[in-house]
Amino acid sequence: MRVKVKELLTTKDLVTIALLSALGGVLSTYVGYLGNLMNHIVGVPFGAGQFLAGLHVLWIILAIGITKKKGAGTVTGVVKGIVELFTGSTHGIVIVAVSAVQGLVADAVLFSDKSKEKRDYVLFAASGGLSSAMNVLIFQTFFFAGVPWILIAMLCLLAFASGMIFGGWLSIEMLETMGRTGMLSGEREVIVDGSLDDGDRAWKRDREKRRHRKISMSVVVSFLVLFSIGAVYYFAFVFEIPNANTISVEGDVSNPFEFVYDDFSEHEETIVAELVGSVTHIGPMNYTGIPLRVIITEAQPLPYASEVVVRGSDGYFASFLLDDVMSDGELLVVQEDGFLRIVGANYEGGYWVELMASIEVR
**Bridge partners, 227 (sequence order):** none
Exposed e or buried b for every residue in 332-361, given b needs 16+ CB within 10 A? bbbbeeebbbbbbbebebbbbbbbbbbbbb
Pairing type for strands 247-251 and 339-344 reads unpaired
Residues 193-224 have pLDDT tens digits of 545 455 566 566 666 666 666 666 676 667 66
- Rounded to whole angstroms, the Cα distance separating 314 from 126 reads 31
Q: Is the pTM of this model over 0.85?
A: no
Pairing type for strands 257-259 and 247-251 reads antiparallel
Burial of 217 (0-12, 13-18, 19+ CB in 10 A): middle
Q: Report angle CA 312, 138, 61 to the nearest 5 degrees.
A: 90
180, 198, 205, 206, 216 from 191: Cα distances, Å: 10, 15, 10, 7, 17
For residue 128, give the H/E element and its range.
Answer: helix 121-142
Taking residues 346-353, report their average pLDDT: 86
In this prediction, residue 44 carries a pLDDT of 47
- Rounded to whole angstroms, the Cα distance separating 19 from 66 reads 12
In this prediction, residue 48 carries a pLDDT of 57
Residues 12-54 have pLDDT tens digits of 899 999 999 999 988 887 887 777 666 656 554 455 567 788 8
| HEC letters along 208-222 | HHHHHHHHHHHHHHH
Average pLDDT score, the chain:
82
Residues 131-164 have pLDDT tens digits of 999 988 887 777 655 555 676 777 788 888 888 9
Q: How many residues does the chain have?
A: 362
Exposed e or buried b for every residue in 111-149, given b needs 16+ CB within 10 A? eeeebbeebbeebbbbbbbbbbbbbbbbbbeebbeebee
Name the residue with higher pLDDT: 230 or 192: 230
- Rounded to whole angstroms, the Cα distance separating 301 from 315 reads 23
